[in-house]
Amino acid sequence: MKIIIKSAFISTVLMLTATSAYASSATPGMDTFDGVIDVVATWLGRIGLVVAFFGAVQLALGFKNDDADGKVRGMKTLASGFLVYGITQSMSLFLL
């Protein structure tokens, strides 16, 4: 019983002494860093689409030649290109 009362008291004290901290949006150098991140994300997305296109060509050639290894490599390349593109398009989810 004493443990429950002590833990309730401690949790109440911790909840009452909590303070909010806000970061300033005017941090020096962050505009430059955000610009670099935007440029890198844009180019990585474009490169991801090029890789996905190359994977689609590999997949088509694998089907044309009836090559199982070519089909698998094409699908992997296609998927990896679209994953890179998808990650760069979801930068707003990560607050970047």
pLDDT in tens, 8-22: 777 776 666 756 666
Structure token digits, residue 25:
């949006």
**Is the pLDDT confidence value at 2 over 90?**
no
The Cα-based distances of 17 to 14, 20, 22, 69 in angstroms read 5, 10, 16, 62
Average pLDDT over residues 20-33: 65
The residue to which tokens 């060509």 are assigned: 57
pLDDT at 22 (0 to 100): 62
| Mean residue pLDDT across the chain | 82
pLDDT value of position 9: 72
Taking the model in full, what pTM does it have? 0.63
pLDDT digits (tens, 9 = 90+) for 51-80: 999 999 999 999 999 889 999 999 999 999
Sketch the domain layout of the chain as residue ranges. Answer: 28-94
Place of tokens 């070519």: 70
Q: DSSP code of 25? A: S
